[in-house]
């Protein structure tokens, strides 16, 4: 399909609910399988229709559409699906598989938006029209005789969808079809609110909807504009309201100003990380001088809105972490701009080196993120990549400071991504909704015997610091998350410079966001060389207060650390990798 491969300079794609020209016919593709949209894009390209029809995607199909043809655009994550359908802007909806709402057909039918299902995994019970003529299908859909069609012939999909959009667009625009209330109806709806708080109780984010309703009665729409970003678009509030207020529609109506301004940029998915980049940066990861790689993955089920994932990414990029993103998280990172009007993707390059921001593409592209750690093990340790999962995972766990961040994890696929990282030795932090997966791999640092590793040089047992402390854990807030990410990047193989850099970030992030020193920072100190240079004397005094012995004349730690720094230390959990064992 000609998708980008290891291309660090892919072009930018537009993203946001406000990017499309709603006066043109609009085609929206939803899902994760690029096959059907590719045929649509080819047909539009062949007939020169990109200036006549707007085509965009929701969820990961959007990523791959922009990778396939730069004329495609991105609306946003799964959280935007119901919001955008109810806006009435789409004239044709094309679905494939994964992360497609079960109620799309029901919602689309209300607004006379035909649904074209293109995958046998999601058919919505629509009639299979794969063997019928394009004109006959279009006639039935335009007339409203049928609400949609199942088309498994993708060439026919490519021909039908643009033609259908050109016919449906003028009809729907003339009728002004939308689920959103007009101004007068909006005033009546917000006045109906009884402040029973049932919507807030049922909301997965516990949003203060009643407060926003009360403010709107007095003409203040700002609370609703704030809720628009924090709302995950599940629609649960609509069913909860005892007085039948369509809450989601009210929120979206009130937030029209911010929706029109919702325009960002995201770098098109680059695909895999190239070997030359890994050879350049891999040694810094193993030694710790690049503080770590943070992979932002998963869905948009954030605890406090999409701004959080942007704030976290910005903070960690500025601290020279490598940020790799994919899926809905990659989209949301590109939704916000700085004072100069630039998104993070426009401000930072896309090469695999510290302080850069990469977008690999859709959730399927998470394989490229995992493959990066495998390549590091292969290139720098000579680990065979075929049938050798154990040795590679051992190397990743003990030497590569990589952490997965599924801050808005929602789907089972996001859970599978996280678990796959765990199997490879990469720790993962999820947002508070991650507890619903009912799985966590939480370390117990107080059990010293759990933290023994082998020294690959001679097979001796070495008691090390808990690094990384957890394999899967949740965090409640972004303030709790950021110090935790820095902490999870510690590895037993860090050299003194690398450990000092990582410790600097751990301490500074904790002081900045939690307003205190970390309780366990001293655990990661092996010698005075591990201490941040700017605070070395201050920290040594704090260590002395903990009972450590300090030679102040030489400014050296003489007693206290769990172990000493050993630059040739080869930590492993696999006995056969020890040289003594090989003999």
Q: pLDDT tens per residue, the chain (583 residues)? A: 888 899 999 999 999 999 999 999 999 999 999 999 999 999 999 999 999 999 999 999 999 999 999 999 999 999 999 999 999 999 999 999 988 999 999 999 999 999 999 999 999 999 999 999 999 999 999 999 999 999 999 999 999 999 999 999 999 999 999 999 999 999 999 999 999 999 999 999 999 999 999 999 999 999 999 999 999 999 999 999 999 999 999 999 999 999 999 999 999 999 999 999 999 998 888 888 899 999 999 899 999 999 999 999 999 999 999 999 999 999 999 999 999 999 999 999 999 999 999 999 999 999 999 999 999 999 999 999 999 999 999 999 999 999 999 999 888 888 899 999 999 999 999 999 999 999 999 999 999 999 999 999 999 999 999 999 999 999 999 999 999 999 999 999 999 999 999 999 999 999 999 999 999 999 999 999 999 999 999 999 999 999 999 999 999 999 999 999 998 999 999 999 998 655 5
Which pLDDT belongs to residue 450?
Answer: 93
Single out the residue of 154, 165, 194, 172 nearest to residue 38, CA to CA.
154
pLDDT of residue 2: 85
Q: Which two tokens stand for residue 169?
A: 């667009």
Residue 294: its pLDDT value, please?
98
Contact 508, 539 (CB under 8 A): no
Q: What's the CATH architecture for 183-260?
A: Orthogonal Bundle (1.10)
Asked whether the beta carbons of 264 and 336 are under 8 A apart, the reply is yes
Contacts of 66 (CB under 8 A, 6+ apart): 13, 57, 72, 73, 74, 266, 268, 269
This prediction's pTM = 0.94
Instruction: Give bridge partners of residue 148 from the DSSP assignment.
Output: 115
**With left for phi above 0 and alpha for psi between -120 and 50, is residue 18 left, alpha or beta?**
alpha
- At the second CATH level, the architecture of 17-175 is 3-Layer(aba) Sandwich (3.40)
Q: Are 193 and 254 spatial neighbours (Cβ–Cβ below 8 Å)? A: no
Instruction: Please say whether the beta carbons of 407 and 329 come within 8 A.
Output: yes
Contact 329, 408 (CB under 8 A): yes
> How would you label 58-84 residue by residue, b for 16+ Cβ within 10 Å and e otherwise?
bbbbbbbbbbbbebbbbbbbbbbbbbb
First to last CA, the chain: 50
Residue pair 117/100 in contact (Cβ under 8 Å)? The answer is no
User: Of all helices (H) and strands (E), which one includes residue 93?
Assistant: strand 92-95
Token duo for residue 8:
């660090």
CA distances from 260 to 18, 87, 264, 330 (A): 4, 12, 11, 21
| pLDDT for 267 | 97
Give me the residues paired with residue 555 across strands. none
> Hey, what's the torsion of the CAs at 378, 382, 386, 388, to 10 degrees?
-100
Residue range(s) occupied by CATH 3.40.50.2030 in the chain: 17-175, 264-526
CB atoms within 10 A of CB 338: 11
**Cross-strand bridge partners of residue 128:** 150
pLDDT value, residue 433: 94
Residue 81 has what pLDDT?
95
- Phi/psi at 382 (nearest 5 deg)? 65, 20
Q: Which regions of the chain carry the CATH code 1.10.1060.10?
A: 183-260
| CA within 13 Å, CB half, 270 | 25
Calculate ∠ Cα 91-178-86, nearest 5°. Answer: 80
Q: Tell me if the domain spanning 264-526 has CATH number 3.40.50.2030.
A: yes
């Amino acid at each position: 399909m000609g998708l980008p491969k290891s291309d660090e300079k892919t072009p930018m794609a537009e993203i946001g609910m406000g990017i499309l020209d709603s006066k043109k016919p609009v085609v929206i593709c939803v899902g994760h399988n690029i096959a059907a949209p590719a045929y649509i894009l080819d047909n539009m390209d062949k007939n020169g229709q990109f200036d006549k029809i707007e085509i965009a995607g929701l969820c990961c199909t959007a990523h791959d559409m922009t990778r396939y043809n730069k004329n495609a655009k991105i609306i946003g994550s799964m959280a935007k699906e119901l919001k955008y359908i109810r806006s009435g802007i789409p004239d044709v909806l094309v679905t494939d598989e994964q992360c497609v709402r079960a109620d799309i057909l029901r919602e689309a039918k209300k607004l006379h938006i035909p649904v074209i299902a293109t995958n046998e995994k999601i058919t919505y019970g629509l009639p299979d029209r794969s063997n019928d003529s394009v004109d006959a299908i279009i006639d039935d859909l335009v007339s409203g005789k049928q609400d949609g069609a199942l088309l498994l012939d993708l060439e026919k999909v490519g021909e039908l969808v643009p033609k259908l959009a050109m016919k449906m667009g003028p009809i729907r625009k003339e009728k002004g079809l939308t689920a959103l209330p007009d101004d007068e109806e909006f005033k009546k709806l917000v006045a109906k609110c009884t402040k029973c708080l049932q919507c807030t109780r049922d909301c997965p984010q516990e949003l203060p909807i009643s407060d926003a309703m009360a403010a709107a009665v007095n003409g203040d729409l700002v609370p609703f504009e704030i809720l628009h970003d924090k709302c995950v678009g599940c629609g649960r509030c609509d069913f909860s309201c005892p007085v039948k207020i369509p809450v989601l529609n009210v929120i979206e109506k009130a937030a029209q100003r911010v929706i029109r301004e919702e325009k960002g940029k995201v770098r098109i998915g680059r695909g895999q990380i190239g070997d030359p980049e890994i050879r350049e940066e891999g040694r810094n990861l193993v030694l710790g001088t690049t503080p770590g790689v943070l992979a932002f993955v998963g869905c948009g089920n954030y605890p406090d809105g999409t701004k959080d994932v942007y704030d976290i990414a910005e903070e960690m990029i500025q601290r020279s972490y490598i940020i790799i993103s994919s899926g809905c998280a990659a989209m949301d990172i590109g939704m916000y701009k700085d004072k100069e009007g630039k998104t993070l993707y426009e401000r930072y390059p896309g090469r695999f080196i510290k302080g850069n921001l990469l977008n690999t593409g859709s959730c399927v592209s998470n394989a490229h993120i995992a493959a990066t750690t495998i390549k590091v093990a292969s290139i720098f340790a000579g680990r065979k990549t075929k049938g050798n999962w154990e040795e590679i995972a051992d190397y990743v766990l003990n030497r590569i400071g990589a952490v997965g961040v599924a801050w808005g994890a929602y789907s089972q696929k996001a859970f599978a991504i996280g678990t796959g990282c765990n199997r490879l030795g990469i720790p993962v932090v999820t947002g508070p909704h991650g507890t619903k997966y009912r799985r966590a791999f939480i370390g117990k640092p107080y059990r010293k015997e759990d933290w023994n590793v082998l020294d690959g040089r001679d097979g001796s047992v070495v008691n090390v610091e808990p690094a990384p402390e957890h394999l899967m854990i949740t965090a409640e807030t972004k303030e709790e998350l950021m110090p935790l990410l820095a902490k999870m990047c510690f590895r037993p193989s860090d050299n003194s410079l690398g450990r000092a850099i990582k410790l600097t970030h751990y301490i500074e992030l904790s002081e900045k966001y939690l307003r205190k020193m970390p309780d366990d920072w001293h655990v990661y100190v092996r010698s005075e060389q591990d201490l941040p240079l700017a605070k070395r004397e201050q920290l040594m005094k704090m260590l002395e207060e903990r009972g450590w012995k300090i030679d102040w004349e030489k400014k050296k730690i003489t007693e206290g650390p769990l172990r000493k720094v050993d630059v040739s230390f080869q930590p492993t959990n696999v006995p056969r990798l020890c040289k003594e064992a090989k003999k």
